[in-house]
Structure 1
Amino acid sequence: MSEQKKPATRADEIRQVIEKEIFTGVLRPGTRLDEESLAARFGLSRTPVREAILQLVYSGLVVKKPRQGAVVAPLDLHRMVQMFEVMSDIEGLCARYAARRMSPDEKSRLSAMVDEADALCRARDLDGYYAVNRAFHDAVYDGSHNEVLKEMARSLFARLAPYRRYQLNHPGRVDGSLSEHAEVVAAIQAADPDRAQAVMRKHVTIQADIFAEFVSIMT
């Protein structure tokens, strides 16, 4: 089983709702996010709303403007693709090092995550699958045993997290993601750094392609 993850906070829940509304066009670019109105909508204080907005600003989905406050940012497809390009190289390198450096126990835990994800995939538990998916990538970062690389990977993952989460809604994507994770694990278990790097890069690139297709339809 994967390590127990912290339960979602109120701010996380609000952020996820707003992310979905941005990606589905309910909240269009330029829409103002008023803390007081959102607090009333969710029946909460303004504190978790403010935290959610800060998370959205960090991911680039929302921007702060003078005299307007927080507004929905335009979806910048070109920048998003560039971030995914860098992410594919960083994660590919993490997988390459993990194939060389992961201990038997670390490899065993990584395999267990794929088994856990498989059960969640069969149950069509998207939230549960995404949590294990995120833990899987985090375990590969740890398995690189390179502190600088781990910091870079986690920082960029946080920026891309909304896009990576939403692309799982694409038909058949969860099954595809699970299969790709299994390929990564097989390469790491076999201590094949070239293969591990290649399949991880492909995995991240597929995510970018799916989300880019979605954005092109929306715009």
Structure 2
Amino acid sequence: MTLHPPQPLKAPASASRPRRRRAAGRPVTRTEELRLQIADDIVRGRLAPGTPLEEVEIAKRYGVSRTPVREALRDLAASGLVEARPHRSALVAQPSLERLRGMFDVMAELEALCAGLCAVHMTAAERAGLEATHAELADLTRRGDEGGYTVLNERFHTTLYAGSHNDYLAELTLATRARLQPFRRAQFRTLGRLARSYEEHDRVVTAILRGDKAEAAAAMRAHILTVEVAYERYAESV
């Protein structure tokens, strides 16, 4: 990723658009909206490493209080996208490749464990719901709908966390996904990634429906590690 000199934060054109909604219908919170927008601008290279992120300026541009801004920057710092500095404004950071790979390694093991448990514990209704979501993803893939696929992809994975029937595991996996979300979203900007992602999902779903715990875990682990590679390719192209 090419480094650029620090530049002032600019409000994106989408700032005034209606608030996005998650696939399940729950409105995205203001903190989530801010976090996603700032993260996208960083990952896309619109906000270069070293750019100061002033809480007051961000709050003014988005018409919010400083509280959601502070929370969004804290979450981004956990992802390695923002460098928090005591008593000073945060800066756009450049997460090291080593840190990202470590995060993806943990994510792969957590999601593999979820998928394996789904093969054993998912109810008939949950399996039907998983198949329905998978079918929707197939339609979005055919239409090349990157935005729709990105949103529904979150529901697909969340369904697997819940299907593990292990609340603590689901909590850990969701927390880790939140840290990696900007990078997972960016991977869909690489050519042909939607189709490959769907094919990888298909192997996971097939194994779960067969009740094959080992294969479900292996397929999911391979999927997440492929996501990492896809992101790295995207980052190199920015």
Are 2:191 and 1:163 aligned?
no
Q: 1:146 aligns with which of 144, 166, 171?
A: 166
Aligned length: 217
Q: Given that residues 75 and 215 in structure 1 are in contact (C-alpha distance below 8 angstroms), is that contact kept between their aligned partners in structure 2?
A: no
SS of corresponding position for 1:80:
helix
SS of corresponding position for 1:75:
coil
Name the structure 1 match of 2:59: 39
Q: Given that residues 82 and 90 in structure 2 are in contact (C-alpha distance below 8 angstroms), is that contact kept between their aligned partners in structure 1?
A: yes
How far does the alpha carbon of each residue in 1:143-174 deviate from its partner, in whole angstroms, 9 at most, with x for none? 11223322221121111111111111111111
SS of corresponding position for 1:69:
strand
How far does the alpha carbon of each residue in 1:68-87 deviate from its partner, in whole angstroms, 9 at most, with x for none? 22111222111101111111
Q: 1:80 aligns with which of 100, 122, 127?
A: 100
How far does the alpha carbon of each residue in 1:122-161 deviate from its partner, in whole angstroms, 9 at most, with x for none? 3333332222111111111111122332222112111111
Query: For residue 34 of structure 2, what is the amino acid of its counterpart?
Result: I
Which fold has the larger relative contact order, with Cα–Cα distance below 8 Å and residues 6 or more apart in sequence?
A: 1
SS of corresponding position for 1:71:
strand
Query: For residue 102 of structure 1, what is the amino acid of its counterpart?
Result: M
Give structure 1 stretches of 5+ with no counterpart.
Answer: none
SS of corresponding position for 1:54:
helix
How far does the alpha carbon of each residue in 1:53-77 deviate from its partner, in whole angstroms, 9 at most, with x for none? 2332232211210342211122211
Query: For residue 71 of structure 1, what is the amino acid of its counterpart?
Result: L
Name the structure 2 match of 1:30: 50
Are 2:124 and 1:104 aligned?
yes
TM-score by length of 2: 0.82
Larger displacement relative to structure 2 (11-20 or 35-44): 35-44
How far does the alpha carbon of each residue in 1:8-44 deviate from its partner, in whole angstroms, 9 at most, with x for none? 2333333222212211222122211012322343354
Distance 1:77 1:5, change over 3 A: farther
Name the structure 1 match of 2:115: 95
Distance 1:13 1:154, change over 3 A: closer
SS of corresponding position for 1:29:
coil
TM-score by length of 1: 0.89
SS of corresponding position for 2:191:
coil
Name the structure 1 match of 2:203: 183
Provide the identity percentage: 40
Are 2:63 and 1:70 aligned?
no
Q: Where do 1:113-124 residues align within 5 Å?
A: 113-124=133-144
Give structure 2 stretches of 5+ with no counterpart.
Answer: 1-21
What is the Cα-based RMSD across aligned positions, in Å?
Answer: 2.1
Larger displacement relative to structure 2 (115-124 or 202-211): 115-124
